[in-house]
Amino acid sequence: MIKWSVTHKRITALFCMIIMAVGAFSYYSSERQENPSIESPICSVTCVYPGASPEDVEKQVLKPLEDEVNTISDIKTLESYAMNSVGIIKITLEDMSDDDIEKKWTEVKDKVDNAKGELPESAYEPEIETDFTSSYGLILGLSSDEYSYEDIKTAADSLKSSLEKVEGVKEVAIEGNISQQVEIDLDMTKLQSYGISPQTAATVLKARNINIPGGNLELEKIQIPVQITGEYNDISEIENTIISVSKETGTPVYLKDLAEINLTYEDKEETAYVNGEKALFVCVKYMDGLNILKIEKKLQKVISDFKVNGLYADMNMTELYNQAQFVNESISLFNENLISAIILVLIVVFISMGIRSALIVAFPIPIVICIVFTYMKATEIPIHQVSIAALIICLSLLVANGIVSNDNMNVYLDRGENIMTACTKGIKEVNIPILTSTLTTVASFLPLAMMQGSAGKFVNSLPILVTVALLGSYITSITVVPAMGYIFLDPKKIKRNEKMKAQKEKFKKLFRLDKGKGAFSNFYMKVLDISLRNPRKVLALFLAMLIATSTIVPTMLIQLFPPVEREQYVLNVTLQDGATVEKTEDACLKVSEVLKNESSIDNFSYKVGNGYTKYYVSFMPNNIATNKAQFLINGTRSEAENVERDIINNVPGISTQIKYLEINLPTDYPVQVRITGTDINELRRMAEEIQEIGYTVEGTKNIENNFGYDSYKLDVDINEEKASMVGLSAYDIASTVRMAVNGVEISELKQKDINKDSLPIVAKVSSDKKTSADMLDTLFLTSQITGDNIPLSQVADIDTETSLNKIVRRGGERTITIGSFVKDGYNTRNVMKAYEEALKDYKLPDGYTMEFGGENETSNDAFSSMKLPAVIAVVLIYIILVFQFGDLREPLIIMATIPLSFIGIIIGLKVMGYPIGFMALLGAISLMGVVVNNGIVLLDYMKLVLKDEKDVIKGIKFACETRLRPIMVGMITTVISLIPLMISGGALWAPMATSIVFGMILSSVLTMTAIPCAFIILHNRRLKKGKFRFS
């Protein structure tokens, strides 16, 4: 292959052009994302049970569903929430592949189907949600207080229709809409005067509004369909429906005599606002596998046209979220870092090796990058910050192979060999060492692809792409580099000695690294001389440095992933349990007034009664709750806490919480204490005590429990004996009470416009009477035996009782969670340890258990997933070294240098102020292969020199002095290539770059001393045993 590539230079050049053309096409046509897509291991099952208390939901809905779902294997946690009228089950799976996750969700659907027969008849069909990672890429807000919801909906529908036509758009949804309905407000006084019960009126209305096929009549062998219709066409027909006939006068009793019939809006369950104005959200979801930057450009054109031709006067359109903007900024930043890194590396190579050698080393870089882009396109890996970071990380590694190949060609030319020999035998000589160093680096990266969990899947493409780049670098170093060398290094075409030696002299003078004359070289040789006379003391010193550095670790912040860096944050607003949507809206309008006066905020939007629209892969919206609202604020993130402080000072009666976007799935509370047991009152008692203890722990704030507080309820206790005597069933009574309290949809009114949905017809008791508990005392039902109207109070006792607002279960048992947030500047792990210490003497009643959770659980799982890849990487590197050196002990000398890099990593993170996190540890693991390569270069040459040199000390010094320059140049190129990422890579990538940079610097310097010392100790031992040999 080597000789062929040189003798067929034109064909080699053709292949290079084809690769670059395909790579360029792959780059421009590949999907763009801000972050990798991750299959969520979370699924939810929601079942609505209208009018049911949390206790009833727990017993009749959650328990049957849990019993079925719990039979599925590999469930990590099963959490259930019983609230008024709704039950929610949240299923989290153990770490597994995306394909296995899909299979588990199929099992969940089957188990839920099995449980349906055990659910109450009036419970709705359970809804299963498995897509927790899919999010909307563009969210627009149409807002105005001058228009009705129907007007805003008309404009939103028009915009939706236009956006759906854009190629690449998967879905357009409208959120926050409040639909119209026909509301029948029954007047209990009038019903009683006519002797008509609410249930009778509802039954008549339902029976009147029909459209039923009557079959076919055959007339003269022609079939004529018969249609029986009594459908309502408008509200006036509903008003004039005859409900009964007066027994006294015989005149008909019309519905309008008993109730007010109006076209109104349905009861608010979820409302949306933009900048304090009522609004609807128009949400766009992109198709997978496409370049969203191109799609977004088309969408912006549609939006611009709509602003001119479709948007009503005094109606505002606000861009609330635009994923394409963040994707473009993220990729552009990384592209700039990549280009900066390439330029810096080329400068180093140019200074050290000259212009022609720099060109030879540099030319394979775009080829390898194009190979990577082609692989990404073929395997459907999108272009995102992880894939671009992979290219930056491996940049110096790509150059290293080219430097070795180019350098050996120059060695052959300096000996006077002809250009063909230099470009063939010179490359062949270093082929195996290059392959070995490539494989050791691959061995340190590739096992990282085995990591499971959301953190592992997030970085999954990084080790794969680095591996592809390294293999591509190896191929180009034995094909493209010799072909380029044949063209650029031919002594017949250039005045080789004059120009190249001049360049080398410049480099030597600049860095003063020429043998024995540079200050650094002189200093190093003096240190090496002392070290070789005291090898055990030197190694003991390095061990002491490692131990001393490890004492710094407990003082450092541990953080799995940093918050996503963008000028945007979420504000959660919570009122007391049981607060209505209307009350929550009023409080949020006051919050809006505060936000309008904040200069740091560009715009804000929020939803009341439900979580905000899913707009980011790891963002978890709040569950349905009438007392909660969730704001998305586009503004300066550093001012978020000041904004929250202003809200708390100006809006009483609410609690607030600022949340920043996270890369991993967020936890409810950073610090958690969970108590499991049976009795709710006992659980609450302990929760209150543990909360009080929590306030004594330094660093905790806003401690709360997830059961909340009790509210009042009216308990209707049916006397079955009395009810049976007058012909009333429990169902008759329950349905009548529900209609009186919440209203019941009894039929629907079809609209003339067939494109519009039918309007529900809802019967209820007049709303002004629903505010009083006395309403139920005036309610009556019609006896199925006598036809008389029977007061509800005659067949049921009505009492006021306290009621739970929520019951939370975990693993099938009642579990209350005491959660705490952490003050700024405090280490979450240390706060959790302090909380555990404060509770070590707390005594639990028999049958109750306590466990701790929060961010520690998530981070421990992620860090644990790195253990196996790290072990595999070490084993693979050792095996490769054994093959390289043909010895079991000598590779241990090189392996022992790996911990030396940890000294630099810890110091670097501490100095730069970064926490110990997933990305920093990822950098530490990936650094192992690079550190080992330096050891290979040094140890291999030491053994080569000692074949001829009888004075071991002299031979070691000569080898170290000779290899000082290439090792230092390799270190400099690695460090230089990562400086842009370390400076401007943000909180996510800077810690990883810092780990590699500082670890590389210190390990390279220490390796030049540690390996000679370890080698001389091994030599002396073998010499005593008579087993020493050099091979």
Q: Is residue 347 part of a domain?
A: no
The answer to whether residues 504 and 373 belong to one domain is yes
The answer to whether residues 870 and 1013 belong to one domain is yes
| CA gap 621, 850 in Å, rounded | 28
Among candidate residues 115, 132, 149, the one where a domain is terminated: 132
| CA gap 796, 55 in Å, rounded | 20
> What was the pLDDT predicted at 62?
94
> What was the pLDDT predicted at 52?
84
> What was the pLDDT predicted at 214?
63
Farthest CA pair distance, the chain: 131
Contact in structure between 592 and 608 (CB atoms under 8 Å): no
Least confident of 395-399, 448-452, 512-516: 512-516
> What was the pLDDT predicted at 555?
82
> What was the pLDDT predicted at 516?
41
* 228 — pLDDT class (breaks 50, 70, 90): low
| CA gap 340, 352 in Å, rounded | 19
Q: Is pLDDT above 70 for 212?
A: no
Q: Which phi and psi angles does 676 have, rounded to 5°?
A: -120, 135
Residue 574 vs residue 207, higher pLDDT: 574
Q: Which phi and psi angles does 703 have, rounded to 5°?
A: -80, 135
Q: Is pLDDT above 70 for 502?
A: no
What is the DSSP code string of 833-892?
Answer: HHHHHHTTTPPPPTT-EEEEEEHHHHHHHHHHTTHHHHHHHHHHHHHHHHHHHS-SSHHH
> Tell me: the pLDDT tens digits for 536-569?
999 999 999 999 998 998 888 877 788 888 899 9
Q: What is the CATH number of the domain that holds 630?
A: 3.30.70.1430
| CA gap 707, 713 in Å, rounded | 17
What is the DSSP code string of 66-90?
Answer: HHHHTTSSSEEEEEEEEETTEEEEE
Least confident of 123-132, 530-539, 656-665, 898-907: 656-665
Q: Is pLDDT above 50 for 680?
A: yes
> What was the pLDDT predicted at 198?
83
The answer to whether residues 547 and 590 belong to one domain is no
Residue 1009's contacts (CB-CB under 8 Å, 6 or more residues apart) are: 527, 528, 531, 538
> Tell me: the pLDDT tens digits for 458-475?
888 889 999 999 999 899
| CA gap 758, 754 in Å, rounded | 9
Helix (H/G/I), strand (E/B), else coil: 460: coil
| CA gap 655, 313 in Å, rounded | 37
Q: Average pLDDT, whole number, for the chain?
A: 84
> Tell me: the pLDDT tens digits for 859-878?
777 778 888 888 898 899 88
| CA gap 546, 903 in Å, rounded | 6
> Tell me: the pLDDT tens digits for 229-256?
678 888 888 888 888 887 777 789 888 9
Distance of CA 676 to CAs 74, 523, 682, 702, 818, Å? Answer: 21, 65, 10, 22, 11
Least confident of 190-199, 765-774, 940-949: 765-774
Minimal CA–CA distance to 669: which of 626, 623, 702, 622? 702
> Tell me: the pLDDT tens digits for 274-307?
999 999 999 999 988 788 899 999 999 999 999 9
| CA gap 962, 515 in Å, rounded | 7
Burial class (CB in 10 A: 0-12, 13-18, 19+), 250: exposed
Minimal CA–CA distance to 152: which of 141, 136, 163, 137? 141
Regarding beta strands 759-765 and 180-186, do their DSSP bridges make them parallel or antiparallel, or are they unpaired? Answer: parallel
> What was the pLDDT predicted at 926?
75
What would the two tokens of residue 165 be? 């036509």
Q: How many CA atoms lie within 13 A of 702 on its CB side?
A: 14
Residue type, 697: V
> Tell me: the pLDDT tens digits for 336-349?
877 887 787 778 77
| CA gap 622, 607 in Å, rounded | 10
Minimal CA–CA distance to 574: which of 712, 708, 669, 710? 708
* 511 — pLDDT class (breaks 50, 70, 90): very low
Q: Is residue 484 part of a domain?
A: yes
Residue type, 512: R
Among candidate residues 762, 786, 803, the one where a domain is terminated: 803
| CA gap 627, 625 in Å, rounded | 5
Least confident of 257-266, 356-365, 704-713: 704-713
Q: Which domain, by its residues, includes 940?
A: 512-551+866-1031
What is the share, in percent, of the chain residues with pLDDT greater than 70? 93
Give the residues across from 558 on adjacent strands.
916
Residue type, 260: E
Residue with tokens 């043998």: 515
> What was the pLDDT predicted at 686?
94
Q: Is residue 294 part of a domain?
A: no
Q: Is pLDDT above 80 for 709?
A: no
Task: Name the H helices within 379-452.
Answer: 385-414, 419-445
3-class DSSP string for 602-617 = EEEEEEECCCCCCCCC
The answer to whether residues 21 and 72 belong to one domain is no
Q: Is pLDDT above 50 for 165?
A: yes
Minimal CA–CA distance to 256: which of 327, 320, 352, 184? 184
| CA gap 426, 367 in Å, rounded | 22
The answer to whether residues 537 and 592 belong to one domain is no
Q: What is the CATH number of the domain that holds 1009?
A: 1.20.1640.10
What would the two tokens of residue 475 be? 């191929």
> Tell me: the pLDDT tens digits for 23-82?
999 988 888 887 787 778 889 999 988 878 888 999 999 999 999 999 999 999 999 999
| CA gap 438, 444 in Å, rounded | 10
What would the two tokens of residue 828 be? 């979450």
Q: Is residue 79 part of a domain?
A: yes
> What was the pLDDT predicted at 499?
52
| CA gap 255, 242 in Å, rounded | 6
Rounded to a whole number of angstroms, the distance between the first and last alpha carbons of the chain is 28
Three-point CA angle 264, 269, 275, nearest 5°: 90
Mean pLDDT on 397-415: 79
The answer to whether residues 470 and 370 belong to one domain is yes
Instruction: State how far Cα 622 lies from the chain centre.
Output: 16
Among candidate residues 68, 99, 132, the one where a domain is terminated: 132
> What was the pLDDT predicted at 809?
93
The answer to whether residues 887 and 1031 belong to one domain is yes
Q: Is residue 861 part of a domain?
A: no
Mean pLDDT on 365-376: 92
* 513 — pLDDT class (breaks 50, 70, 90): very low
Which segment, 433-437, 641-645, 854-858, 969-973, is predicted with the most confidence on average? 641-645
Regarding beta strands 86-93 and 813-822, do their DSSP bridges make them parallel or antiparallel, or are they unpaired? Answer: unpaired
| CA gap 1008, 1012 in Å, rounded | 7
Residue 988 vs residue 127, higher pLDDT: 127
> Tell me: the pLDDT tens digits for 518-528?
677 788 889 99
Mean pLDDT on 910-939: 83
Contact in structure between 182 and 261 (CB atoms under 8 Å): yes
Mean pLDDT on 726-734: 81
Q: Kindly report the length of the chain.
A: 1031
Three-point CA angle 506, 510, 513, nearest 5°: 95
Per the structure, how many domains does the chain have?
5
Distance of CA 815 to CAs 47, 677, 682, 812, 853, Å? Answer: 20, 6, 11, 9, 13
Minimal CA–CA distance to 91: which of 123, 66, 126? 66
Instruction: State how far Cα 566 lies from the chain centre.
Output: 15
* 814 — pLDDT class (breaks 50, 70, 90): very high
Distance of CA 884 to CAs 581, 671, 879, Å? Answer: 71, 49, 9
The answer to whether residues 516 and 504 belong to one domain is no
| CA gap 1012, 539 in Å, rounded | 10
| CA gap 555, 543 in Å, rounded | 20
The answer to whether residues 504 and 632 belong to one domain is no
Q: Is residue 446 part of a domain?
A: yes
Q: Which phi and psi angles does 802 have, rounded to 5°?
A: -80, 150
The answer to whether residues 1031 and 885 belong to one domain is yes
> What was the pLDDT predicted at 835?
94
pTM of the model: 0.78
| CA gap 231, 236 in Å, rounded | 12
Q: Is pLDDT above 70 for 512?
A: no
| CA gap 775, 771 in Å, rounded | 8
| CA gap 521, 968 in Å, rounded | 11
The answer to whether residues 533 and 580 belong to one domain is no
Q: What is the CATH number of the domain that holds 195?
A: 3.30.2090.10
The answer to whether residues 889 and 997 belong to one domain is yes
Q: Which phi and psi angles does 484 have, rounded to 5°?
A: -65, -40
Q: Is residue 320 part of a domain?
A: no
Q: Is residue 366 part of a domain?
A: yes
> What was the pLDDT predicted at 714?
74
